[in-house]
């Protein structure tokens, strides 16, 4: 009889009544439970619980009974408020309260931002049935910079009803790319499936890699519209999981030799399959970021890019644990990045460089007057770098560059500041004064997107350099200038029209990365020399390499990355209109609200730094010897002068804030590292020493906020900690900015 009772109980439990999806999420978050905790308790996947809370799927026995019991218990503890949760939820980008009164709802459970509207949340995979489209008319507006309209959040298979397909094409989305920029290809229940952005799942009929490429170009409707008028649409990106690699006959991991080569051997059977099907690979071969193509026919491109996370395509330094995520969540991360920045073309550094080119294509199409057909213009597109590489000036060339061969330098000669341009980020520190040692804390400030802010509005050279002897300095003319700035005394500088007295011994020099005062003539980028003039000192260049063909090449690049950063931070609860106190509260543990979106933020930042670093890429093996050309020199985006100008501007921007702060408060930095500066203070918060008055910061000084160029709290340690580590390592000038975040210092960090 007990068995019959158990069967009856199970039957009743299979129809257990559950609250609405939005109520399920409210109850969980009210009790400070995470999706991971609920999933672990019910022994299901994280994406499964997310699907239950988004309304995309419903729990089945035996989990349904346990889930219903959990929600019933939580409902007793947290009765529903009169106002529906859907009406009280804040829209992305809305102001965040100064203090959170409850654990913030992780953004992973919120609708995924795609374009100016928000599609439905990620669903559990795989979704086999047709899911009714949600009403997006009431969806809150997002702050995404994308100009496209989001697809209705329907998960469908190829061959779905015409009505559903018509709904997916509603709005301004390009029908060629209606399924998004990319898909994660995986094996689920012995079937191939492509997980796209917005929870869309497509059946993949392809049984081999060549047929997968064909299917992608003909049926998948993946890709991304061009970012500029003369540009071209982004090629579709396929992310292959380990299960997909096995299905298509590829190794799940690269051997040691293959890792060194960055590719699988050319004789691999899959490469032979591609060759037989008339597909080609680029020169970098079949590696973590492989491009498979056929020569373009007219304006029609036939190219698909592969991303293989298990081959280290998603470097953990920039993408965190993205490679270990389930397909649905990986598609969400990469899709958000692609929508807001661009479809990844390789590492974040490669993508940062490709974004510059996508926004300023080197060529454009013109119509032939004789034939009427379109062809590439003979001249470069205005505002671009063109199609041909440009040699840098000798002073801008890194060691080993072939342009230095003509200088006939002695063997093993080490060039000094008068021969080589040293525009690098700060790495400076000084001993603390007696007065600073009486204070309790060391507080670090970090400049948001500092190098992106340095690129904003910067005029850079677009063409070849011109050598000029004894030039008159022009702050509007980009280039490299040989000038003596050793006479600039930071003890007395000009602030506007008035001179200000400072303690120059407590300030880093603005003209050297190490903060030392220059000792004679040296090469500087235009922003550095212009700052010396701004401080009230005359400059007399001895010679210069200037670029008369110039423009604000990086403006669009900065704006795209800024908008991507701000939109993603807004989704994490940090908006641009917060008060200083509210901003500090919102920034406290912001990544924990949605670790996956935290990965997107890190990737956007890495795109900025990596893209600028690629402008002066050094040889990477290739059998290179000093004096020979290396591969990176053959592209027009190899421009060390642009990199130097951005770094110069970034360093000067920070120094200007330091001087303003010192002149107004009498406080001087103890350490500066790149975009982080450390001060001694009586309290642990930046508000304990930043001169805010009625919520307004010092004009031209440090301002708390999320916008690029503003600052956030990097970390706080005690003065006793600082003196202790300096004594431990016998390093009076140990740079605290390197360790202020978590206070961990090792012998290796100190160079031992």
Task: Give the end of a domain, one of 33, 54, 88.
Answer: 88
Judge whether residue 689 has pLDDT over 90: yes
DSSP 8-state code for residue 471:
P
Geometric angle at alpha carbon 148, from 146 and 149, rounded to 5°? 120
Confidence of residue 697 (pLDDT cuts 50, 70, 90): very high
CA angle 637, 638, 643 (to 5 degrees): 95
Express as a percent the part of the chain with pLDDT over 70: 82
Pair (43, 139) in one structural domain: no
pLDDT over 50 (residue 619): yes
Cα separation, 318 vs 447, in Å, equals 19
Note the pLDDT of residue 15. Answer: 60
Q: What's the mean pLDDT in 629-651? A: 96
What is the tens place of the pLDDT at every residue in 22-44? 889 888 888 878 887 888 888 88
pLDDT > 60? residue 106 = no
Mean pLDDT over residues 176-193, rounded?
93
Residue 192 and residue 308 in one domain: yes
Same domain? For 25 and 147 the reply is: no
pLDDT in tens, 564-607: 999 999 999 999 999 999 999 999 999 999 999 999 999 999 99
How far apart (Å, rounded) are the C-alpha atoms in residues 185 and 211? 13
686 pLDDT higher than 70: yes
In the structure, what pLDDT confidence band is assigned to residue 480 with cuts at 50, 70 and 90?
very high
With a pLDDT cut of 90, the percent of the chain lying above it is 64
| Residue 702 covered by a domain | no
- The region of weakest confidence among 156-170, 398-412, 484-498, 684-698 is 156-170
What residues contact residue 55 under an 8 Å CB cut-off, 6+ apart? 20, 21
* pLDDT tens sequence across 337-367: 999 999 999 999 999 999 999 999 998 666 6
Question: Token pair of 745, please?
Answer: 């210092």
Residues 59 and 193 in one domain: no
Strand residues in 671-733 grouped as ranges (E)? 671-673, 676-681, 711-718
CA–CA distances in Å: residue 540 to residues 343, 548, 565: 47, 20, 41
Q: What is the DSSP letter of 701?
A: S
Q: Does residue 580 fall inside a structural domain? A: no
- Of all helices (H) and strands (E), which one includes residue 453? helix 450-455
Residue 747 within any structural domain of the chain: no
Furthest CA-CA distance within the chain: 105
Asked if 205 and 139 sit in the same domain, the reply is: yes
- pLDDT tens, position by position, 211-237: 999 999 999 999 999 998 888 899 999
Round to whole Å and give the CA distance between 222 and 408: 54
Lowest mean pLDDT of 8-17, 259-268, 603-612, name the range.
8-17
Q: Coil, helix or strand for 77?
A: helix
Q: Of 519, 453, 486, whose CA–CA distance to 707 is shortest?
A: 453
What's the token pair of residue 740? 């202020």
Which band of pLDDT confidence, cut at 50, 70 and 90, is reported for residue 116? Answer: very low
Q: What is the sign of the dihedral through the CA atoms of 158, 124, 323 and 741?
A: positive
Instruction: Identify whether the C-beta of residue 718 lies closer than 8 Å to the C-beta of residue 432.
Output: no
Query: Could you tell me if residue 39 is inside a domain?
Result: yes
| Global pTM value | 0.78
Residue 213: inside a domain: yes
pLDDT digits (tens, 9 = 90+) for 313-344: 999 999 999 999 999 999 999 999 999 999 99
Question: In this structure, are 173 and 124 located in the same domain?
Answer: yes
CA distance 621 to 256: 16
Residue 667: Cβ within 10 Å count: 18
Nearest to 685 by CA among 586, 574, 581, 591: 581
If asked whether residues 78 and 155 sit together in one domain, one would say: no
More confident residue, 440 or 620: 440
What domain range includes position 26?
Answer: 2-88
Least confident range from 31-35, 153-157, 626-630, 741-745: namely 153-157
Whether residue 645 has pLDDT greater than 90: yes
The closest of 136, 108, 138, 137 to 123, measured between CA atoms, is 108
Q: What is the mean pLDDT of the chain?
A: 84
588 assigned to some structural domain: no
C-alpha–C-alpha distance, residues 292 and 305, integer Å: 6
Radius of gyration of the chain (CA): 29
């Amino acid at each position: 009889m007990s068995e019959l009772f158990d069967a009856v109980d199970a039957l009743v439990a299979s129809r257990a009544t559950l609250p609405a999806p939005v109520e399920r999420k409210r109850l969980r978050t009210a009790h400070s439970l995470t999706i991971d905790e609920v999933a672990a308790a019910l022994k299901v996947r994280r994406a499964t619980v997310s699907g239950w809370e988004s309304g995309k799927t419903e729990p089945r026995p035996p989990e349904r009974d346990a889930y219903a019991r959990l929600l019933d218990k939580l409902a007793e503890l947290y009765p529903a408020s009169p106002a529906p949760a859907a009406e009280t939820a804040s829209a992305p980008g809305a102001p965040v309260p100064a203090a959170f009164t409850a654990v913030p709802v992780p953004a992973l459970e919120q609708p995924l931002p795609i374009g100016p509207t928000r599609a439905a949340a990620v669903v559990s995979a795989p979704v086999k049935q047709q899911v009714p489209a949600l009403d997006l008319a009431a969806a809150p507006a997002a702050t995404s910079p994308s100009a496209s309209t989001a697809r209705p959040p329907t998960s469908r298979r190829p061959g779905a009803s015409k009505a559903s397909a018509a709904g997916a094409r509603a709005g301004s989305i390009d029908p060629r790319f209606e399924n998004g920029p990319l898909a994660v290809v995986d094996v689920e229940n012995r079937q191939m499936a492509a997980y796209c952005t917005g929870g869309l799942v497509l059946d993949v009929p392809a049984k081999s890699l060549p047929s997968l490429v064909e299917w992608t170009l003909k049926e998948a409707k993946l890709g991304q519209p061009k970012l500029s008028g003369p540009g071209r649409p982004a090629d579709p990106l396929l992310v292959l999981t380990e299960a997909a690699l096995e299905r298509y006959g590829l190794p799940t991991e690269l051997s040691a030799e293959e890792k060194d080569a960055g590719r699988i051997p050319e004789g691999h059977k899959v490469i032979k399959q591609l060759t037989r099907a008339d597909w080609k690979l680029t020169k970098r071969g079949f590696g973590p970021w492989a491009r498979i193509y056929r020569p373009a026919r007219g304006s029609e491109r036939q190219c698909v890019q592969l991303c293989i996370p298990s081959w280290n395509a998603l470097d953990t330094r920039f993408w965190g644990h993205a490679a270990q995520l389930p397909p649905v969540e990986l598609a969400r991360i990469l899709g958000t990045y692609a929508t807001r920045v661009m479809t990844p073309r390789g590492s974040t550094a490669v993508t940062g460089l490709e974004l510059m080119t996508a926004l300023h294509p080197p060529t454009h199409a013109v119509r032939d007057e004789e034939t009427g057909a379109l062809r590439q213009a003979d001249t470069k597109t205005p505002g671009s770098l063109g199609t041909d590489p440009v040699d840098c000036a000798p002073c801008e060339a890194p060691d080993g560059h072939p342009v230095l061969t003509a200088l006939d330098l002695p063997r093993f000669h080490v060039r000094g500041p008068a021969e080589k341009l040293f525009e690098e980020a700060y790495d400076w520190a000084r001993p603390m004064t007696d007065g600073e040692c009486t204070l309790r804390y060391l507080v670090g400030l970090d400049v948001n997107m500092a190098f992106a802010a340095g690129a904003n509005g910067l005029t850079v050279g677009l063409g070849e350099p011109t050598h000029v002897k004894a030039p008159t300095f022009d702050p509007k003319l980009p280039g490299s200038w040989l000038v003596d700035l050793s006479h600039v005394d930071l003890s007395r500088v000009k602030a506007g029209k008035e001179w200000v007295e400072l303690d120059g011994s407590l300030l880093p020099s603005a003209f050297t990365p190490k903060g030392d005062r220059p000792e004679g003539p040296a090469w500087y980028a235009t922003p550095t020399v212009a700052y010396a003039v701004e401080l009230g000192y005359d400059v007399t260049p001895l010679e210069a390499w200037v670029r008369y063909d110039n423009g604000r090449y990086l403006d669009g690049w900065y704006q795209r990355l800024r908008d991507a950063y701000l939109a993603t931070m807004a989704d994490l609860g940090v908006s641009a209109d917060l008060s200083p106190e509210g901003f500090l509260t919102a920034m406290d543990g912001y990544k924990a609200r949605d670790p996956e979106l935290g990965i997107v933020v890190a990737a956007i930042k890495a795109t900025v730094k990596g893209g600028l670093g690629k402008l002066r890429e050094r040889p990477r093996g290739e059998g290179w010897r000093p004096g020979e050309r290396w591969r990176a020199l053959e592209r027009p985006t190899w421009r060390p002068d642009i990199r130097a100008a951005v770094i110069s501007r970034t360093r000067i921007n920070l120094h200007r804030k330091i001087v303003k702060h010192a002149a107004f408060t009498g406080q001087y930095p103890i350490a500066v590292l790149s975009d982080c500066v450390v001060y001694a203070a009586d309290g642990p918060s930046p508000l304990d020493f930043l001169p805010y008055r009625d919520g307004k910061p010092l004009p031209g000084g440090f301002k708390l906020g999320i916008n690029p160029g503003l600052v956030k709290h990097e970390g706080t340690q005690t003065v006793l900690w600082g003196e202790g580590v300096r004594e431990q390592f016998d390093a009076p000038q140990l740079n605290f900015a390197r360790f202020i975040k978590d206070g961990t210092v090792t012998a290796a960090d100190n160079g031992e």
